[in-house]
Amino acid sequence: MTKEAEIKKSPEEQLKIILKGAADCVNREELLKKLEKGTPLTVKLGLDPSAPDIHLGHAVVLRKIKQMQDLGHRAVIVIGDFTGKIGDPTGKSKGRTALSDEQVRANAATYCEQIFKVLDKDKTDVHFNSEWLAKLTFEDVIRLASTTTVARILERDDFQNRYRNQTPIGLHEFFYPLMQAYDSVALQADIELGGSDQTFNVLMGRNLQKAFGQEQQIALFMPILEGLDGVEKMSKSLGNYIGVSEDASVMFKKVMEVPDELIIRYFELATDEHPDRVEEIRKELEQGKNPRDVKYELAGIITALYHGEEEMKAARNFYDQAFSKGAIPDDVPETALPGEKATLAEVIPVLKEQGLIQSRNEFTRLLKQGGVQLDGEKIGMEALEQEVAAGSVLKIGKKKFLRFVKA
């Protein structure tokens, strides 16, 4: 494609879109100069291959890259298979176990499957950093090491704390930020994205590019997205997450649970809405618009981004029937009864397998609290010995449904 076909917006308009929701940019003036050249920029994101499940918190940087792809720029995803042999020590109180090549490749395959729910595959290059790091000679490694100092590396909070507490730090761990930085040299990256917890590593890329005589990359930092509890960062282990691969109906209802005070933050970080539209929504809320109506729009936008318009509409209808009108939705997930006849107590393991409950204790607590319905009727502990018929619909809490069918 020609330059004119790719870069359609003015540098100032691009800058506005790129900086939407960003926590920091080093630096803005350099970024504008790069944009004024009118040529597609190389936008780099490094991925640690240790945790392949992606949720909306992880997707914050991916959404920003997608916005830059839509502006005509090129994304380069770097899978850290070589750096994964060390493990990113960022935020860790002790050294991390290195991953095997098989683990790295398996995780990378899962990553790619999920990131292309966000990124444009045709505008994305995927590389393993072993492509260049494995080729470095020991002389090259010494040259790399000479570009920084131990004092500079020890500026990192995690290393400082471990050094102060006399927790061992492997010499190889010092090389992690240098190796990640060399990825930027190898790719001649124009922009590198990272979460605000990656500040040290990303800025190291700028320093190393300068040492190698290259134009320095722009460091663009995206904030950490709070989860559904509104307090902690989004995390699967905390249960406050929205997974990018979750069913559309689950995603829609979870977005409806976003705390009112985080509505604008989710519009900024979890959608591709233009900054001007986000500002309009902010003003509407300030002028008294019902936050639930705004969240309803937000849920539709986010669900459509990952599942398309048709699945989003079905999820919205499901939500309307299940939670707004209190009826049993038509499109309820189904599972087979564990036998020709089964009591409610006997289907508890099935409920756990389906992810509807965490444990038998949780289910009995919900029964005691009146939080379980069978075919629209509240049931209590006495129902544990009741036979569950094929076709019956169980409702757990306000949001979870399951229809039983014959084995």
What is the CATH class of 248-324?
A: mainly alpha
Which pLDDT score is estimated for 1? Answer: 37
Contact assessment for residue 91 and residue 158, using Cβ atoms and an 8 Å cutoff: yes
Among 275, 258, 234, smallest CA distance to 60 is for 234
Which pLDDT score is estimated for 154? Answer: 83
Q: What is the amino acid identity at position 124? A: T
CA 85 and chain centroid, separation: 23
- 3-state DSSP call for residue 262? helix
Which pLDDT score is estimated for 98? Answer: 61
Which pLDDT score is estimated for 89? Answer: 52
CA separation for the pair 259, 39 (Å, rounded): 41
Intervals of the chain under pLDDT 70: 1-6, 49-52, 85-99, 323-327, 330
CA 274 and chain centroid, separation: 20
Task: Name the β-bridge partners of 220.
Answer: 25, 193
Q: If 0-12 CB within 10 Å is exposed, 13-18 middle and 19+ buried, where does residue 9 land? A: middle
- 3-state DSSP call for residue 56? coil
Predicted TM-score (pTM) of the model is: 0.74
Which pLDDT score is estimated for 94? Answer: 46
* 316-347 pLDDT tens trace: 998 888 766 666 776 778 888 887 778 889 88
Return the domain boundaries, the chain: 3-222, 248-324, 334-405
Would you state the torsion angle of the CA atoms of residues 154, 156, 158, 161, taken in this order, to the nearest 10 degrees?
A: 50
Would you state the torsion angle of the CA atoms of residues 211, 212, 214, 217, taken in this order, to the nearest 10 degrees?
A: -60
Which pLDDT score is estimated for 70? Answer: 94
Q: Where does 23-145 have alpha helices with state H? A: 28-36, 59-70, 101-115, 130-133, 138-145
Which pLDDT score is estimated for 389? Answer: 79
What is the CATH class of 334-405?
A: alpha beta
Which pLDDT score is estimated for 187? Answer: 96
CA separation for the pair 265, 285 (Å, rounded): 13
Question: Looking at the chain, how many residues does it have?
Answer: 407
* 213-231 pLDDT tens trace: 999 999 999 999 999 989 8
Q: Where does 188-247 have alpha helices with state H? A: 199-211
CA dihedral sign of residues 403, 404, 405, 407 = positive
Which pLDDT score is estimated for 4? Answer: 39
Q: What is the amino acid identity at position 341? A: K
* 56-74 pLDDT tens trace: 998 999 999 999 999 999 9
Burial state string for 283-296 with b = 16 or more CB within 10 A and e = fewer than 16: eebeeeeebeebbb
Contact assessment for residue 98 and residue 87, using Cβ atoms and an 8 Å cutoff: yes
Residue range 3-222 in CATH 3.40.50.300 = no
Q: Encoding tokens for residue 142?
A: 């010494």
